[in-house]
Structure 1
């Protein structure tokens, strides 16, 4: 593993100066620092470029007003992940309050992503809609939309996925497409034309949850949604969110919520329904006004989330064995009938982070088909990779770093060969494992003031990761195992030159660290946090030692 620091400073600096250097290194010019750290409210006119064309937005608003006027049957057809579910909640709650006859539909994961013949047949038979709002999908589904149009059904598309090369523009009555927001962010912008202040606050929280959970770059309007959602979380008027927070052990009177609270505690529980159960349970949770019902739904999601955790633990050893067969390749592409479709994205993400290569993981079905999920590293765009193999795939779509695909098991070897050819032709430097740090600085800069100042960078997420620091000439003067297994270490660090003492912890410490000599000069890579146990003080979270 190579270590690379974007910026290096010497001497002691105040916390504001260090924050400024981090932001500049992340491509944010000095004149934008204040607006980045203190984003204006998402509804401030002209404050943000949402990527949404005003003409298309007006078409959507106008068509919804026509649907109300003529008392049409409207269906919101959403995806089964946290972005799709929160989008459906925003639109259903808003449009129902506006007076529309509107019903949500979210397919089971087994029915596949987006429109499907079985899903559309069910919707047409049950609701007989004259308008379908496709949310978090649709931009690559021209065939299904043409079919609906032939049956006299209008379709509006609210999507943020990349449009596949060669895919013709969908023949919808309105299309809002931007990659700058989540689908829930788009839904929020549409809903502002119809919602009151109370609804708008709840919608903002739901959009902010999706913005963080769906790996949307935390810049501009997307960051504003996340930022204000965290500040409104304790005041949200959604019993389902309160019930979820209770299940996750989050207090509703917490002074400051973080991106961790959403990304690791709230969002996975919403996602669990679409992974292993019925996504409509999660939607009902977000839409109910009954606290008792909300607690029941939240308990159901809690059980599914635990099942998801158990499945991942059981399946990882199988995945580790399979990827060994492809050691030396610039990617890993594996499939097994033992992989549950609901966790293949989690498997791909875990393997990608550990191996630092693009990873494709498939679940083999009994009919000879493979449903797959993919995750990629910096510098390798997932979409062109799958487009180059398009003739081998039945379907594919997604973003630069994440995607889904399906293919016949008979084409799996050819797909692997196609990936091998494409990735072998790329510059090899992309695949060299490098740990990028934001700043190399002397250890005495790690103060309580800095730890507090770093919290202003929240919410963390894509393109705004939690800062990573590097310090040289550090002595490990003490280390003590904590927790079960003895692999977590509580440490005391000392700067060689200044003698400054800083305390920290190293979770799942490397064997090299556990056995290394005390008081031996070393370099460390770490994050900085506020430890609020019995006061407020800085502590470092060690990531690696070399």
Structure 2
């Protein structure tokens, strides 16, 4: 259980009071907006009555409409070329459906994740040529397909590219390249997802410049894609999701309706969280496991019985996906237990044979959450190692990978997530290079940060607080679901749930008792006891059951009350530098070199416990005033001299106090001798 840095809001009561007076918004909403530094409240909370931008403001949109309209009018064969993730699948379904409704001759093509990988490829172009395709329209891909665009031209296929990824300095040669991130683009909101760009193309084709008509036809799919692709939920994206949720309640998209029922959401209030965790993963599961066509069939279905059957298959795929992630994560836990030094590097980098490359990104995200460090996982598949990377705020994964790209056969992504492929023979060399790159750019690495939006009083633990938050919906990237904190709660009880997969805490806070659930926290990994004073960070929601409403508190993180997080983080990183044998200044060496009383303090503490199974971070928190790096060196010295033993397990290190301890002298420690200045 890694220590996450909490960023607490710098609340200003006067500013909050003024916000309430000026806007009439609830107190909790004002607290959250003040904590996020929002100046223009009306723009931030703009409702679905807002307007979308003219799609023709996008560069090349006029060219795309002209060429696509001509293809429809002249009965040319059109292929919509998509991608296998939720964004790409929904974008493909939208544009294919629209063109089919126009009476166009249209087919769709989604590359196989295992055999073809992401984006346009020449073999697919050859196949489409055999299908007598005259025009390919890409959705959610194509902006980097320079060679493939040239190849399409040589075989006589025209190309329209619609994408939302960052372009390279040179654009592909095509009839039109529509991407709001183009350097010469004047579009007013560049943060659309792939399906969002496809939606704007549909609006332009239809002459619906405000999007007010087309959103009622394609809002469900556009909203799901916008949430699934983790683009900023501000501006147009906010409108798309708001309108899309309204469309979903009407139930006209048969495939989405079937997914909602299979996911058990048909009797619940749907919001962006429902889309992110209920709908999108089931669509994504099809693409992750090489069955994207199954999701396409579902979204194109016009019979509920067929759609329900397909949705049930997707649900099974999603369960299989979860199982694959759990298996990979269990293997990762074993690797870390056998080689704990992995956690002392600036990045966590692991690889394995047989890891399904379609799900390793999910496992990487879990590692970042658990250990608060950037992470790259590789699946070794013969001569190729396919990787998925996740990062933390302050460390741009795509920039780091770009600087080390000479060994890569392909890569792409953004600051927080990226994909990459490297020849297996060069994998270890690439790992060395990216670790060296991190060393050159960061003496002290950024750590995963939890942004807390508001610190609540016990009076605010009630239903109307959640209602007040809801005016800020939809939540997602750029407008995250609020995280609130309760500081100084006393743990009353810890109750295991769901066969020890989760726990429920009963907490006392400022004289009030409440319960909270901590998902994916097994009891054996929870390092706190009844009686401990802790700070709790959580999301709030409302549970509705049998007509009764109750406050739902879902824990994001727990830490001992009063901990000095900056000292822990810095001390931990200096210990990692020490373990990596990186140079340390003499004054640092002197500061972290243990004295007899430091070792004695830890010895006495562990002797009380006999064994301590909760890891080093909590040991430091419970010990009190000692430098973290010095504490870890004390443990190394004590282990070297046989005063304690450390067992590395899948749940973390367990420190044990042996029954019999032979008398020994600290001067016998080679670790201490090496640390002493001048020796």
Provide the residue aligned with 2:10 in structure 1: 7
* Contact map agreement 1:364 1:409 (CA 8 A) in 2: yes
| Distance in 1 of aligned mates of 2:308 and 2:502 | 36
Q: CA deviation at 1:141?
A: 0.9
TM-score by length of 2: 0.73
| Distance in 1 of aligned mates of 2:394 and 2:242 | 27
Q: CA deviation at 1:457?
A: 2.4
Q: CA deviation at 1:198?
A: 7.7
1:65 aligns with 2:65: no
| Distance in 2 of aligned mates of 1:302 and 1:119 | 29
Would the alpha carbon gap of residues 69 and 458 (structure 1) be closer, same or farther in structure 2, given more than 3 Å must change? same
Q: What SS does structure 1 have at the residue aligned with 2:161? A: strand
Q: CA deviation at 1:506?
A: 3.5
Deviations for 1:400-442, whole angstroms, at most 9, x for unmatched residues?
A: 2122111101111121122112211234555235433112243
Q: What SS does structure 1 have at the residue aligned with 2:264? A: coil
Provide the residue aligned with 2:36 in structure 1: 26
* Contact map agreement 1:74 1:133 (CA 8 A) in 2: yes
Provide the residue aligned with 1:153 in structure 2: 157
Q: CA deviation at 1:220?
A: 1.0
Which of 349, 354, 362 lines up with 1:338 in the alignment?
Answer: 354
| Distance in 1 of aligned mates of 2:59 and 2:501 | 60
* 1:77-116 equivalences in 2 (<5 Å): 77-110=81-114, 111-116=116-121
Deviations for 1:146-173, whole angstroms, at most 9, x for unmatched residues?
A: 1111222211111111234xx5221111
Bigger shift: residues 436-445 or 168-177: 436-445
Instruction: From the CA coordinates, give the structure whose radius of gyration is larger.
Output: 2
Provide the residue aligned with 2:187 in structure 1: none
Which of 334, 350, 361 lines up with 2:366 in the alignment?
Answer: 350
1:180 aligns with 2:191: yes
Q: What SS does structure 2 have at the residue aligned with 1:431? A: coil
1:526 aligns with 2:538: yes
Provide the residue aligned with 2:275 in structure 1: 262
Provide the residue aligned with 1:318 in structure 2: 331
Q: What SS does structure 1 have at the residue aligned with 2:441? A: coil
Would the alpha carbon gap of residues 488 and 61 (structure 1) be closer, same or farther in structure 2, given more than 3 Å must change? same
Provide the residue aligned with 1:132 in structure 2: 136
Q: What SS does structure 2 have at the residue aligned with 1:227? A: helix
| Distance in 1 of aligned mates of 2:228 and 2:113 | 18
* Contact map agreement 1:477 1:494 (CA 8 A) in 2: no
Would the alpha carbon gap of residues 472 and 305 (structure 1) be closer, same or farther in structure 2, given more than 3 Å must change? closer
Q: What SS does structure 2 have at the residue aligned with 1:257? A: coil
Would the alpha carbon gap of residues 36 and 296 (structure 1) be closer, same or farther in structure 2, given more than 3 Å must change? same
Bigger shift: residues 353-362 or 100-109: 353-362
Which of 298, 308, 312 lines up with 2:321 in the alignment?
Answer: 308
Would the alpha carbon gap of residues 463 and 511 (structure 1) be closer, same or farther in structure 2, given more than 3 Å must change? farther
Q: Alpha carbon RMSD of aligned pairs, Å?
A: 2.7
| Distance in 2 of aligned mates of 1:337 and 1:293 | 37
Q: What SS does structure 2 have at the residue aligned with 1:464? A: coil
| Distance in 1 of aligned mates of 2:347 and 2:441 | 12
Provide the residue aligned with 2:45 in structure 1: 37
* Contact map agreement 2:503 2:523 (CA 8 A) in 1: no
* Contact map agreement 2:272 2:476 (CA 8 A) in 1: yes
* 1:433-472 equivalences in 2 (<5 Å): 433-472=448-487
* 1:326-475 equivalences in 2 (<5 Å): 326-366=342-382, 368-428=383-443, 430-475=445-490
| Distance in 2 of aligned mates of 1:75 and 1:477 | 61
1 or 2 for the larger relative contact order (CA 8 Å, sep ≥6)? 1
1:544 aligns with 2:561: no
Q: What SS does structure 2 have at the residue aligned with 1:192? A: helix
Provide the residue aligned with 1:291 in structure 2: 304
Q: What SS does structure 2 have at the residue aligned with 1:283? A: helix
Q: CA deviation at 1:277?
A: 3.1
Query: Unaligned 5+ residue runs, structure 2?
Result: 181-189, 561-679
Q: CA deviation at 1:326?
A: 2.1
Would the alpha carbon gap of residues 525 and 300 (structure 1) be closer, same or farther in structure 2, given more than 3 Å must change? closer
Q: CA deviation at 1:511?
A: 5.9
Q: What SS does structure 1 have at the residue aligned with 2:8? A: strand
Deviations for 1:199-228, whole angstroms, at most 9, x for unmatched residues?
A: 642411101101111111111111221222
Would the alpha carbon gap of residues 249 and 202 (structure 1) be closer, same or farther in structure 2, given more than 3 Å must change? farther
Q: CA deviation at 1:483?
A: 4.1
| Distance in 2 of aligned mates of 1:388 and 1:247 | 44
- What count of residue pairs does the alignment treat as equivalent? 530
Would the alpha carbon gap of residues 274 and 486 (structure 1) be closer, same or farther in structure 2, given more than 3 Å must change? closer
| Distance in 2 of aligned mates of 1:315 and 1:464 | 31
Would the alpha carbon gap of residues 430 and 535 (structure 1) be closer, same or farther in structure 2, given more than 3 Å must change? farther
Would the alpha carbon gap of residues 239 and 411 (structure 1) be closer, same or farther in structure 2, given more than 3 Å must change? same
Query: Unaligned 5+ residue runs, structure 1?
Result: none
| Distance in 2 of aligned mates of 1:521 and 1:385 | 40
